């Protein structure tokens, strides 16, 4: 029960750090130059340092869908990329959260609304 609470708390913290977006994901269309960033993010990205002992894994598919595994709690989502901005809408939510990201080789750097970096390592 304690681990479950920690996972839920950490997921809530991640959502609050990334902040709420002001764009409507349903009306945004990725520009042609965003195709390279979109394909670069496809795959699985893992962070195991945010909450020691717990893995956070994002899986981005090439069709704009994905899944987030927060220590065993799975959440499906759709995403759109606009330059270095990503908008993620989790199933069951009405508003996406948006954040800035950068990819350098096998490292995905997600910048939250407070300016903190969260690094994910590409695993697939």
So what's the pLDDT on residue 56?
A: 94
> What residues make up the domain containing 83?
2-122
List Cβ neighbours of 25 (8 Å cut-off, separation of 6 or more): 78, 80, 87, 89, 96
So what's the pLDDT on residue 82?
A: 95
Q: Which CATH number belongs to the domain containing residue 102 in this structure? A: 2.40.128.360
The separation between CA 109 and the C-alpha centre of its own chain, rounded to angstroms, equals 10
Token pair 């708390």 in the structure block, residue: 9
Q: How many domains does the chain have?
A: 1
pLDDT digits (tens, 9 = 90+) for 70-124: 999 999 999 999 999 999 999 999 999 899 999 999 999 998 767 889 999 999 8
Which of the four pLDDT bands, split at 50, 70 and 90, describes residue 36?
low
Looking at the predicted structure, is the pLDDT value of residue 21 above 60? no
Spell out where the chain has E strands: 43-51, 54-60, 65-70, 73-82, 85-90, 97-104, 107-111, 117-122
Yes or no: say if 97 and 18 are a contact pair by the CB < 8 Å rule.
Answer: yes
């Amino acid at each position: 029960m304690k681990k479950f609470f920690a996972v839920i708390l950490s997921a809530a913290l991640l959502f609050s750090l990334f902040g709420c977006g002001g764009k409507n994901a349903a009306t945004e269309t990725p520009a042609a130059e965003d195709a390279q960033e979109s394909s670069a993010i496809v795959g699985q990205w893992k962070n195991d340092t945010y909450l020691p002992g717990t893995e956070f894994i994002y899986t981005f598919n090439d069709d704009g869908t994905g899944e987030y595994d927060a220590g065993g709690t799975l959440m499906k989502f759709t995403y759109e990329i606009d330059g270095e901005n990503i908008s993620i809408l989790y199933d069951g939510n009405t508003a996406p959260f948006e954040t800035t990201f950068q990819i350098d080789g096998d490292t995905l750097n997600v910048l939250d609304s407070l300016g903190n970096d969260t690094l994910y390592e590409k695993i697939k």
